[in-house]
Structure 1
Amino acid sequence: MSDTAARPGKLETRDLTIRFGGHVAVNGVSCTFAPGTLTAIVGPNGAGKTTYFNLISGQLKASAGNVILNGRDITSLPASARTHAGLGRAFQLTSLFPNLSVMENVRLALQSRRQIGLDMWNVWSHHRDLIERAEQLLDSVALLSKRDVEAAALPHGDQRKLEVGLLMALDPDVYMFDEPTAGMSVDEVPVILDLIRALKARRDKTILLVEHKMDVVRELADRIIVLHNGTLMADGDPEKVIASPVVQQAYLGLAPVEENA
Protein backbone atom coordinates (compact mmCIF):
# COMPACT_ATOMS: atom_id res chain seq x y z
CA MET A 1 0.00 0.00 0.00
CA SER A 2 1.39 3.41 -0.94
CA ASP A 3 1.70 6.30 1.47
CA THR A 4 -0.99 8.19 -0.43
CA ALA A 5 -3.40 5.30 0.19
CA ALA A 6 -2.34 4.59 3.73
CA ARG A 7 -4.97 2.88 5.85
CA PRO A 8 -6.45 5.23 8.49
CA GLY A 9 -4.39 4.96 11.64
CA LYS A 10 -1.04 4.23 10.04
CA LEU A 11 1.57 6.27 11.87
CA GLU A 12 5.27 6.56 11.07
CA THR A 13 8.22 8.38 12.52
CA ARG A 14 11.25 8.69 10.27
CA ASP A 15 14.60 9.51 11.89
CA LEU A 16 12.72 11.60 14.47
CA THR A 17 15.18 13.64 16.51
CA ILE A 18 15.19 16.47 19.02
CA ARG A 19 18.16 18.24 20.57
CA PHE A 20 18.20 20.50 23.61
CA GLY A 21 21.51 22.30 23.30
CA GLY A 22 24.12 19.56 23.16
CA HIS A 23 21.77 16.90 24.53
CA VAL A 24 20.00 14.59 22.09
CA ALA A 25 16.78 13.59 23.85
CA VAL A 26 15.38 11.52 20.95
CA ASN A 27 17.91 10.23 18.48
CA GLY A 28 16.79 9.27 14.96
CA VAL A 29 13.87 7.03 15.94
CA SER A 30 12.18 5.34 12.97
CA CYS A 31 9.06 3.24 13.60
CA THR A 32 5.84 2.33 11.84
CA PHE A 33 2.68 1.72 13.87
CA ALA A 34 -0.09 -0.20 12.14
CA PRO A 35 -3.85 -0.03 12.68
CA GLY A 36 -5.21 -2.81 14.87
CA THR A 37 -2.10 -3.04 17.05
CA LEU A 38 -1.12 -1.85 20.50
CA THR A 39 2.52 -0.90 20.92
CA ALA A 40 3.97 -0.35 24.38
CA ILE A 41 6.86 2.10 24.62
CA VAL A 42 9.06 1.32 27.60
CA GLY A 43 12.42 2.31 28.99
CA PRO A 44 14.06 3.63 32.16
CA ASN A 45 13.31 7.09 33.52
CA GLY A 46 14.78 9.72 31.23
CA ALA A 47 14.83 7.36 28.25
CA GLY A 48 12.90 9.79 26.04
CA LYS A 49 9.49 8.09 26.04
CA THR A 50 7.36 11.12 26.83
CA THR A 51 9.58 13.35 24.68
CA TYR A 52 8.98 10.96 21.76
CA PHE A 53 5.24 11.21 22.44
CA ASN A 54 5.51 15.01 22.51
CA LEU A 55 7.24 15.00 19.13
CA ILE A 56 4.55 12.80 17.60
CA SER A 57 1.64 14.79 19.01
CA GLY A 58 3.17 18.20 18.28
CA GLN A 59 3.90 19.53 21.76
CA LEU A 60 7.57 19.69 20.74
CA LYS A 61 9.10 20.65 17.41
CA ALA A 62 11.51 18.12 15.96
CA SER A 63 15.10 19.10 15.25
CA ALA A 64 15.11 16.59 12.40
CA GLY A 65 13.00 13.81 10.94
CA ASN A 66 9.33 13.43 10.08
CA VAL A 67 5.98 12.32 11.45
CA ILE A 68 3.69 10.69 8.88
CA LEU A 69 0.00 10.04 9.58
CA ASN A 70 -2.21 8.24 7.06
CA GLY A 71 0.35 8.95 4.34
CA ARG A 72 0.49 12.67 5.14
CA ASP A 73 3.54 14.46 6.50
CA ILE A 74 2.27 16.28 9.59
CA THR A 75 5.69 17.31 10.94
CA SER A 76 4.99 21.03 10.48
CA LEU A 77 1.47 20.95 11.93
CA PRO A 78 0.72 22.26 15.43
CA ALA A 79 -0.78 19.94 18.03
CA SER A 80 -4.35 21.13 17.43
CA ALA A 81 -4.13 20.40 13.69
CA ARG A 82 -2.70 16.95 14.39
CA THR A 83 -5.70 16.24 16.61
CA HIS A 84 -8.07 17.15 13.77
CA ALA A 85 -5.99 14.95 11.45
CA GLY A 86 -6.73 11.92 13.65
CA LEU A 87 -4.05 11.88 16.34
CA GLY A 88 -5.38 11.62 19.90
CA ARG A 89 -3.22 12.12 22.99
CA ALA A 90 -4.02 11.50 26.65
CA PHE A 91 -1.47 13.27 28.80
CA GLN A 92 0.49 12.02 31.78
CA LEU A 93 -0.91 15.05 33.61
CA THR A 94 -4.58 15.79 33.07
CA SER A 95 -5.51 18.52 30.58
CA LEU A 96 -9.13 19.34 31.28
CA PHE A 97 -11.33 22.45 31.40
CA PRO A 98 -11.23 22.72 35.19
CA ASN A 99 -14.11 25.18 35.68
CA LEU A 100 -16.54 23.27 33.46
CA SER A 101 -18.62 20.32 34.52
CA VAL A 102 -17.76 16.76 33.63
CA MET A 103 -20.58 16.71 31.07
CA GLU A 104 -19.51 20.04 29.55
CA ASN A 105 -15.96 18.76 29.10
CA VAL A 106 -17.15 15.76 27.12
CA ARG A 107 -19.70 17.87 25.27
CA LEU A 108 -17.00 20.22 24.02
CA ALA A 109 -14.90 17.29 22.81
CA LEU A 110 -17.86 15.95 20.84
CA GLN A 111 -18.48 19.41 19.39
CA SER A 112 -14.89 19.59 18.26
CA ARG A 113 -15.08 16.17 16.66
CA ARG A 114 -18.25 16.98 14.72
CA GLN A 115 -17.32 20.64 14.14
CA ILE A 116 -20.59 21.90 15.59
CA GLY A 117 -20.64 25.43 16.95
CA LEU A 118 -23.08 26.53 19.62
CA ASP A 119 -24.98 29.80 19.59
CA MET A 120 -28.49 31.01 20.40
CA TRP A 121 -29.77 29.42 17.17
CA ASN A 122 -27.98 26.12 17.68
CA VAL A 123 -28.73 24.94 21.20
CA TRP A 124 -27.83 21.59 22.67
CA SER A 125 -31.42 20.42 22.80
CA HIS A 126 -31.25 20.24 18.99
CA HIS A 127 -28.44 17.70 19.24
CA ARG A 128 -29.93 15.01 21.41
CA ASP A 129 -27.76 12.38 19.76
CA LEU A 130 -24.64 14.18 21.00
CA ILE A 131 -26.01 14.40 24.52
CA GLU A 132 -26.78 10.69 24.46
CA ARG A 133 -23.27 9.95 23.19
CA ALA A 134 -21.77 12.07 25.98
CA GLU A 135 -23.80 10.14 28.52
CA GLN A 136 -22.61 6.84 27.03
CA LEU A 137 -18.98 7.96 27.26
CA LEU A 138 -19.37 9.10 30.85
CA ASP A 139 -21.00 5.80 31.72
CA SER A 140 -18.10 3.91 30.10
CA VAL A 141 -15.59 5.73 32.31
CA ALA A 142 -17.79 5.38 35.42
CA LEU A 143 -18.46 9.13 35.70
CA LEU A 144 -22.11 9.46 34.71
CA SER A 145 -23.13 10.01 38.35
CA LYS A 146 -20.70 12.96 38.49
CA ARG A 147 -21.83 14.60 35.26
CA ASP A 148 -22.57 17.96 36.95
CA VAL A 149 -19.41 18.12 39.07
CA GLU A 150 -16.73 20.64 38.06
CA ALA A 151 -13.68 18.89 36.64
CA ALA A 152 -11.43 20.70 39.13
CA ALA A 153 -13.39 19.18 42.02
CA LEU A 154 -12.81 15.59 40.88
CA PRO A 155 -10.21 13.47 42.66
CA HIS A 156 -7.12 12.68 40.60
CA GLY A 157 -8.29 9.23 39.55
CA ASP A 158 -11.58 10.58 38.24
CA GLN A 159 -9.75 13.31 36.34
CA ARG A 160 -7.72 10.63 34.59
CA LYS A 161 -10.90 8.77 33.70
CA LEU A 162 -12.46 11.96 32.35
CA GLU A 163 -9.39 12.60 30.22
CA VAL A 164 -9.77 9.16 28.63
CA GLY A 165 -13.45 9.94 28.07
CA LEU A 166 -12.49 13.13 26.23
CA LEU A 167 -10.07 11.22 24.06
CA MET A 168 -12.76 8.67 23.19
CA ALA A 169 -15.13 11.51 22.31
CA LEU A 170 -12.63 12.73 19.72
CA ASP A 171 -12.53 9.18 18.24
CA PRO A 172 -9.06 9.56 16.70
CA ASP A 173 -7.39 7.09 14.36
CA VAL A 174 -4.40 6.91 16.72
CA TYR A 175 -4.73 6.74 20.50
CA MET A 176 -1.70 7.76 22.56
CA PHE A 177 -1.79 6.92 26.27
CA ASP A 178 1.01 8.26 28.49
CA GLU A 179 0.90 6.26 31.73
CA PRO A 180 -2.92 6.29 31.81
CA THR A 181 -3.16 4.65 35.26
CA ALA A 182 -0.56 6.83 37.00
CA GLY A 183 -1.80 8.10 40.36
CA MET A 184 -4.92 5.94 40.30
CA SER A 185 -6.01 3.67 43.11
CA VAL A 186 -6.05 -0.10 42.67
CA ASP A 187 -9.85 0.00 42.40
CA GLU A 188 -9.80 2.64 39.64
CA VAL A 189 -7.21 1.05 37.36
CA PRO A 190 -9.48 -1.68 35.88
CA VAL A 191 -11.85 0.94 34.39
CA ILE A 192 -9.07 2.44 32.26
CA LEU A 193 -7.55 -0.91 31.32
CA ASP A 194 -10.96 -2.25 30.27
CA LEU A 195 -11.42 0.76 27.99
CA ILE A 196 -8.03 0.20 26.38
CA ARG A 197 -8.83 -3.50 25.95
CA ALA A 198 -12.11 -2.58 24.24
CA LEU A 199 -10.34 -0.17 21.88
CA LYS A 200 -7.78 -2.83 21.06
CA ALA A 201 -10.51 -5.42 20.41
CA ARG A 202 -11.98 -3.20 17.68
CA ARG A 203 -8.82 -3.83 15.61
CA ASP A 204 -9.28 -0.60 13.67
CA LYS A 205 -7.31 1.79 15.90
CA THR A 206 -3.60 2.32 16.34
CA ILE A 207 -2.72 2.45 20.04
CA LEU A 208 0.53 3.64 21.60
CA LEU A 209 1.04 3.15 25.31
CA VAL A 210 3.78 4.45 27.59
CA GLU A 211 3.58 2.34 30.73
CA HIS A 212 5.91 1.35 33.58
CA LYS A 213 3.77 -1.49 34.91
CA MET A 214 5.18 -4.55 33.17
CA ASP A 215 2.17 -6.71 34.01
CA VAL A 216 0.01 -4.27 32.06
CA VAL A 217 2.49 -4.23 29.19
CA ARG A 218 2.63 -8.03 29.04
CA GLU A 219 -1.15 -8.31 28.92
CA LEU A 220 -2.00 -5.55 26.45
CA ALA A 221 0.93 -5.13 24.08
CA ASP A 222 1.19 -6.74 20.66
CA ARG A 223 4.63 -5.20 20.37
CA ILE A 224 7.18 -3.45 22.57
CA ILE A 225 9.71 -0.83 21.60
CA VAL A 226 12.40 0.11 24.10
CA LEU A 227 14.01 3.53 24.26
CA HIS A 228 17.25 4.16 26.13
CA ASN A 229 18.98 7.54 26.17
CA GLY A 230 16.66 8.59 23.34
CA THR A 231 17.72 5.73 21.07
CA LEU A 232 15.59 2.81 19.87
CA MET A 233 17.18 -0.17 21.61
CA ALA A 234 14.74 -3.00 20.89
CA ASP A 235 11.56 -3.57 18.89
CA GLY A 236 9.46 -6.71 18.61
CA ASP A 237 7.42 -9.41 20.32
CA PRO A 238 6.80 -8.55 24.00
CA GLU A 239 8.15 -11.74 25.53
CA LYS A 240 11.28 -11.76 23.38
CA VAL A 241 11.99 -8.08 24.00
CA ILE A 242 11.48 -8.34 27.75
CA ALA A 243 13.72 -11.43 27.90
CA SER A 244 16.57 -9.91 25.89
CA PRO A 245 19.75 -9.31 27.94
CA VAL A 246 20.13 -5.70 26.81
CA VAL A 247 16.61 -4.86 28.00
CA GLN A 248 17.02 -6.81 31.23
CA GLN A 249 20.08 -4.74 32.03
CA ALA A 250 19.05 -1.30 30.78
CA TYR A 251 15.37 -1.30 31.68
CA LEU A 252 14.91 -3.79 34.48
CA GLY A 253 18.28 -3.08 36.08
CA LEU A 254 19.36 -6.71 36.14
CA ALA A 255 22.97 -7.75 35.72
CA PRO A 256 23.69 -9.55 32.45
CA VAL A 257 24.09 -13.29 32.75
CA GLU A 258 27.66 -14.33 32.11
CA GLU A 259 28.26 -17.12 29.63
CA ASN A 260 29.31 -20.47 31.09
CA ALA A 261 28.27 -19.24 34.52
Structure 2
Amino acid sequence: MKKTSLETRDLTIRFGGHVAVNAVSCAFQAGTLTAIVGPNGAGKTTYFNLISGQLKPSAGQVLLNGSDITSMPASARTHAGLGRAFQLTSLFPNLSVMENVRLALQSRAHLGLDLWNVWNRHKALIERAEQVLEDVALAAKRDAHAAALPHGDQRKLEVGLLMALDPDIFMFDEPTAGMSVDEVPVILDLIRGLKKQTHKTILLVEHKMDVVRELADRIIVLHNGTLMADGDPETVIASPIVQQAYLGTAPVEEAAA
Protein backbone atom coordinates (compact mmCIF):
# COMPACT_ATOMS: atom_id res chain seq x y z
CA MET A 1 0.00 0.00 0.00
CA LYS A 2 1.34 3.41 -0.97
CA LYS A 3 2.30 5.81 1.79
CA THR A 4 0.12 8.88 2.36
CA SER A 5 2.41 11.90 2.02
CA LEU A 6 -0.15 14.72 2.01
CA GLU A 7 -3.65 14.93 3.39
CA THR A 8 -6.39 17.50 3.86
CA ARG A 9 -9.09 16.96 6.44
CA ASP A 10 -12.34 18.92 6.15
CA LEU A 11 -10.35 21.78 4.62
CA THR A 12 -12.58 24.83 4.31
CA ILE A 13 -12.28 28.52 3.51
CA ARG A 14 -14.99 31.16 3.51
CA PHE A 15 -14.83 34.62 2.00
CA GLY A 16 -17.70 36.42 3.67
CA GLY A 17 -20.76 34.32 2.93
CA HIS A 18 -19.09 32.43 0.08
CA VAL A 19 -17.61 29.00 0.77
CA ALA A 20 -14.78 28.66 -1.76
CA VAL A 21 -13.54 25.29 -0.50
CA ASN A 22 -16.05 23.20 1.39
CA ALA A 23 -14.79 20.55 3.85
CA VAL A 24 -12.50 18.79 1.37
CA SER A 25 -10.94 15.63 2.79
CA CYS A 26 -8.44 13.94 0.52
CA ALA A 27 -5.23 11.92 0.93
CA PHE A 28 -2.44 11.85 -1.64
CA GLN A 29 0.12 9.08 -1.97
CA ALA A 30 3.76 9.00 -3.03
CA GLY A 31 4.19 7.55 -6.51
CA THR A 32 0.83 8.90 -7.69
CA LEU A 33 -0.06 11.80 -9.96
CA THR A 34 -3.44 13.22 -9.03
CA ALA A 35 -5.14 15.62 -11.44
CA ILE A 36 -7.49 18.16 -9.87
CA VAL A 37 -10.12 19.26 -12.36
CA GLY A 38 -13.36 21.19 -12.41
CA PRO A 39 -15.05 24.16 -14.10
CA ASN A 40 -13.81 27.71 -13.65
CA GLY A 41 -14.49 28.93 -10.12
CA ALA A 42 -14.61 25.38 -8.75
CA GLY A 43 -12.01 26.14 -6.06
CA LYS A 44 -9.02 24.31 -7.55
CA THR A 45 -6.42 27.07 -7.17
CA THR A 46 -7.88 28.11 -3.81
CA TYR A 47 -7.45 24.51 -2.63
CA PHE A 48 -3.83 24.65 -3.81
CA ASN A 49 -3.35 27.95 -1.96
CA LEU A 50 -4.64 26.38 1.25
CA ILE A 51 -2.30 23.41 0.91
CA SER A 52 0.78 25.50 0.12
CA GLY A 53 0.08 28.10 2.81
CA GLN A 54 -0.84 31.18 0.78
CA LEU A 55 -4.28 31.16 2.41
CA LYS A 56 -5.30 30.37 5.96
CA PRO A 57 -8.25 27.97 6.21
CA SER A 58 -11.45 28.83 8.04
CA ALA A 59 -11.56 25.23 9.25
CA GLY A 60 -9.84 21.90 8.72
CA GLN A 61 -6.26 20.67 8.56
CA VAL A 62 -3.34 20.09 6.19
CA LEU A 63 -1.01 17.21 7.07
CA LEU A 64 2.42 16.53 5.57
CA ASN A 65 3.75 13.04 6.24
CA GLY A 66 1.30 12.80 9.14
CA SER A 67 2.31 16.09 10.78
CA ASP A 68 -0.16 18.96 11.06
CA ILE A 69 1.22 21.92 9.08
CA THR A 70 -1.98 23.98 9.04
CA SER A 71 -0.42 26.87 10.98
CA MET A 72 2.97 26.64 9.21
CA PRO A 73 3.85 29.57 6.88
CA ALA A 74 4.37 28.95 3.17
CA SER A 75 8.16 29.34 3.35
CA ALA A 76 8.43 26.70 6.07
CA ARG A 77 6.24 24.32 4.05
CA THR A 78 8.64 24.72 1.11
CA HIS A 79 11.61 23.79 3.30
CA ALA A 80 9.60 20.83 4.61
CA GLY A 81 9.32 19.45 1.07
CA LEU A 82 6.11 20.95 -0.29
CA GLY A 83 6.81 22.52 -3.69
CA ARG A 84 4.38 24.74 -5.54
CA ALA A 85 4.74 26.10 -9.07
CA PHE A 86 2.98 29.45 -9.16
CA GLN A 87 1.63 31.28 -12.17
CA LEU A 88 4.67 33.54 -12.70
CA THR A 89 4.65 35.01 -9.18
CA SER A 90 7.74 33.13 -8.01
CA LEU A 91 10.18 34.60 -10.53
CA PHE A 92 12.76 37.32 -9.82
CA PRO A 93 12.03 39.49 -12.88
CA ASN A 94 15.17 41.63 -12.76
CA LEU A 95 17.55 38.68 -12.44
CA SER A 96 18.74 36.49 -15.26
CA VAL A 97 17.37 33.04 -15.99
CA MET A 98 20.52 31.46 -14.54
CA GLU A 99 20.42 33.65 -11.42
CA ASN A 100 16.82 32.61 -10.78
CA VAL A 101 17.82 28.96 -10.87
CA ARG A 102 20.88 29.65 -8.69
CA LEU A 103 18.74 31.18 -5.96
CA ALA A 104 16.39 28.20 -5.97
CA LEU A 105 19.31 25.78 -5.68
CA GLN A 106 20.96 27.76 -2.89
CA SER A 107 17.69 27.90 -1.00
CA ARG A 108 17.36 24.13 -1.34
CA ALA A 109 20.92 23.67 -0.05
CA HIS A 110 20.34 26.17 2.80
CA LEU A 111 23.31 28.24 1.59
CA GLY A 112 21.73 31.68 1.78
CA LEU A 113 21.22 34.13 -1.07
CA ASP A 114 24.73 35.47 -1.73
CA LEU A 115 24.80 34.94 -5.49
CA TRP A 116 28.53 34.91 -6.04
CA ASN A 117 30.60 34.08 -2.94
CA VAL A 118 28.54 31.01 -2.11
CA TRP A 119 27.93 29.96 -5.68
CA ASN A 120 31.53 29.93 -6.82
CA ARG A 121 32.49 27.48 -4.07
CA HIS A 122 29.95 24.84 -5.06
CA LYS A 123 30.70 23.13 -8.37
CA ALA A 124 27.83 20.66 -7.88
CA LEU A 125 25.32 23.50 -7.77
CA ILE A 126 26.70 24.98 -10.99
CA GLU A 127 26.36 21.62 -12.73
CA ARG A 128 22.84 21.15 -11.41
CA ALA A 129 21.81 24.63 -12.59
CA GLU A 130 23.13 23.90 -16.05
CA GLN A 131 21.15 20.65 -16.12
CA VAL A 132 17.93 22.37 -15.03
CA LEU A 133 18.28 24.92 -17.84
CA GLU A 134 18.85 22.12 -20.34
CA ASP A 135 15.83 20.22 -19.02
CA VAL A 136 13.49 23.19 -19.49
CA ALA A 137 15.04 24.19 -22.83
CA LEU A 138 16.30 27.55 -21.57
CA ALA A 139 20.06 27.07 -21.73
CA ALA A 140 20.31 29.42 -24.71
CA LYS A 141 18.54 32.15 -22.70
CA ARG A 142 20.54 31.78 -19.49
CA ASP A 143 21.63 35.44 -19.48
CA ALA A 144 18.25 36.96 -20.34
CA HIS A 145 16.30 38.74 -17.61
CA ALA A 146 13.27 36.76 -16.51
CA ALA A 147 11.01 39.77 -17.18
CA ALA A 148 12.15 39.83 -20.82
CA LEU A 149 11.17 36.24 -21.53
CA PRO A 150 8.05 35.43 -23.56
CA HIS A 151 5.17 34.06 -21.50
CA GLY A 152 5.84 30.45 -22.47
CA ASP A 153 9.50 30.70 -21.45
CA GLN A 154 8.51 32.26 -18.13
CA ARG A 155 6.32 29.25 -17.46
CA LYS A 156 9.22 26.95 -18.31
CA LEU A 157 11.49 28.88 -15.94
CA GLU A 158 8.88 28.62 -13.20
CA VAL A 159 8.81 24.85 -13.61
CA GLY A 160 12.62 24.87 -13.65
CA LEU A 161 12.70 26.63 -10.28
CA LEU A 162 10.42 23.98 -8.85
CA MET A 163 12.64 21.24 -10.27
CA ALA A 164 15.67 22.95 -8.68
CA LEU A 165 13.98 22.91 -5.27
CA ASP A 166 13.42 19.13 -5.69
CA PRO A 167 10.51 18.88 -3.23
CA ASP A 168 8.82 15.67 -2.10
CA ILE A 169 5.44 17.06 -3.16
CA PHE A 170 5.15 18.72 -6.58
CA MET A 171 2.15 21.01 -7.10
CA PHE A 172 1.63 22.19 -10.67
CA ASP A 173 -1.11 24.77 -11.34
CA GLU A 174 -1.81 24.66 -15.09
CA PRO A 175 1.88 24.36 -16.01
CA THR A 176 1.25 24.52 -19.77
CA ALA A 177 -1.10 27.54 -19.71
CA GLY A 178 -0.14 30.13 -22.29
CA MET A 179 2.40 27.90 -24.01
CA SER A 180 2.51 27.25 -27.72
CA VAL A 181 1.88 23.74 -29.03
CA ASP A 182 5.63 23.34 -29.63
CA GLU A 183 6.51 24.30 -26.04
CA VAL A 184 4.10 22.02 -24.19
CA PRO A 185 6.03 18.73 -24.72
CA VAL A 186 9.02 20.07 -22.73
CA ILE A 187 6.90 20.42 -19.59
CA LEU A 188 5.00 17.18 -20.12
CA ASP A 189 8.28 15.29 -20.52
CA LEU A 190 9.52 16.73 -17.21
CA ILE A 191 6.35 15.64 -15.44
CA ARG A 192 6.61 12.17 -16.99
CA GLY A 193 10.14 11.97 -15.61
CA LEU A 194 8.95 12.93 -12.15
CA LYS A 195 6.31 10.19 -12.27
CA LYS A 196 9.10 7.63 -12.53
CA GLN A 197 10.38 8.72 -9.10
CA THR A 198 8.04 6.66 -6.97
CA HIS A 199 8.89 8.57 -3.78
CA LYS A 200 7.47 11.79 -5.25
CA THR A 201 3.85 12.94 -4.99
CA ILE A 202 2.44 15.05 -7.84
CA LEU A 203 -0.68 17.23 -7.82
CA LEU A 204 -1.72 18.78 -11.11
CA VAL A 205 -4.42 21.36 -11.78
CA GLU A 206 -5.10 21.19 -15.51
CA HIS A 207 -7.89 22.15 -17.91
CA LYS A 208 -6.59 20.23 -20.91
CA MET A 209 -8.32 16.86 -20.68
CA ASP A 210 -5.91 15.20 -23.12
CA VAL A 211 -3.07 16.05 -20.72
CA VAL A 212 -5.10 14.76 -17.77
CA ARG A 213 -5.91 11.48 -19.53
CA GLU A 214 -2.28 10.90 -20.41
CA LEU A 215 -0.62 11.77 -17.10
CA ALA A 216 -3.08 11.17 -14.28
CA ASP A 217 -3.21 8.03 -12.15
CA ARG A 218 -6.18 9.51 -10.34
CA ILE A 219 -8.61 12.38 -10.83
CA ILE A 220 -10.47 14.37 -8.22
CA VAL A 221 -13.17 16.81 -9.28
CA LEU A 222 -14.07 19.99 -7.43
CA HIS A 223 -17.33 21.79 -8.13
CA ASN A 224 -18.42 24.86 -6.18
CA GLY A 225 -15.65 24.10 -3.71
CA THR A 226 -16.91 20.60 -2.97
CA LEU A 227 -15.19 17.30 -3.74
CA MET A 228 -17.58 15.77 -6.25
CA ALA A 229 -15.69 12.75 -7.64
CA ASP A 230 -12.51 10.82 -6.89
CA GLY A 231 -11.15 7.81 -8.72
CA ASP A 232 -9.28 6.45 -11.72
CA PRO A 233 -9.37 8.64 -14.85
CA GLU A 234 -11.58 6.40 -16.98
CA THR A 235 -14.27 6.07 -14.32
CA VAL A 236 -14.26 9.71 -13.27
CA ILE A 237 -14.31 11.16 -16.78
CA ALA A 238 -17.17 8.84 -17.76
CA SER A 239 -19.27 9.76 -14.72
CA PRO A 240 -22.53 11.50 -15.76
CA ILE A 241 -22.27 14.11 -13.03
CA VAL A 242 -18.73 14.99 -14.15
CA GLN A 243 -19.79 15.09 -17.80
CA GLN A 244 -22.45 17.62 -16.85
CA ALA A 245 -20.51 19.78 -14.39
CA TYR A 246 -17.09 19.79 -16.01
CA LEU A 247 -17.53 18.93 -19.67
CA GLY A 248 -20.86 20.73 -20.03
CA THR A 249 -22.85 17.85 -21.47
CA ALA A 250 -26.45 17.16 -20.57
CA PRO A 251 -27.21 14.37 -18.11
CA VAL A 252 -28.40 11.12 -19.67
CA GLU A 253 -32.05 11.46 -18.70
CA GLU A 254 -32.18 15.04 -20.05
CA ALA A 255 -30.50 14.11 -23.32
CA ALA A 256 -33.01 11.32 -23.85
CA ALA A 257 -35.99 13.59 -23.33
Distance 1:211 1:121 in 2: 38
Does 2:238 correspond to 1:243? Answer: yes
Aligned to 1:138: 133
Deviation, structure 1 residue 122: 4.0
Indicate which of 70, 73, 94 corresponds to 2:68. Answer: 73
Distance 2:162 2:16 in 1: 33
Aligned to 1:61: 56
Superposed, which structure 2 residues align to 1:1-261 within 5 Å?
A: 10-117=5-112, 122-258=117-253, 261=256
Deviation, structure 1 residue 259: 8.7
Gaps of 5+ in 1: none
Distance 2:244 2:116 in 1: 62
Letter in 1 for 2:131: Q
Deviation, structure 1 residue 125: 2.0
Residues 120 and 153 of structure 1, relative CA distance in 2, 3 Å threshold: closer
TM-score (norm: length of structure 2): 0.96
Sequence identity, in percent? 85
Distance 1:159 1:260 in 2: 43
Letter in 2 for 1:95: S
User: Deviation above 6 Å: which 4+ runs of structure 1?
Assistant: none
What is the SS of the residue equivalent to 1:10?
strand
Distance 1:119 1:86 in 2: 22
Residues 225 and 123 of structure 1, relative CA distance in 2, 3 Å threshold: closer
Do the aligned residues in 1 keep the contact of 2:88 with 2:158 (CA within 8 Å)? Answer: no
Matched residues, number: 256
Do the aligned residues in 1 keep the contact of 2:83 with 2:169 (CA within 8 Å)? Answer: yes
Do the aligned residues in 2 keep the contact of 1:54 with 1:60 (CA within 8 Å)? Answer: yes
Deviation, structure 1 residue 123: 3.7
Residues 213 and 82 of structure 1, relative CA distance in 2, 3 Å threshold: same
Distance 1:156 1:209 in 2: 20
Do the aligned residues in 2 keep the contact of 1:94 with 1:159 (CA within 8 Å)? Answer: no
Residues 247 and 115 of structure 1, relative CA distance in 2, 3 Å threshold: same
Distance 2:237 2:50 in 1: 25
Distance 1:252 1:11 in 2: 28
Deviation, structure 1 residue 249: 0.5
Distance 1:142 1:121 in 2: 24
Do the aligned residues in 2 keep the contact of 1:94 with 1:160 (CA within 8 Å)? Answer: no
Distance 2:159 2:243 in 1: 31
Show CA shifts across 1:142-172 (max 9, x none).
Answer: 0111111111111110000000010011010
Deviation, structure 1 residue 140: 0.3
Gaps of 5+ in 2: none
Deviation, structure 1 residue 70: 1.0
Deviation, structure 1 residue 227: 0.3
What is the SS of the residue equivalent to 1:176?
strand
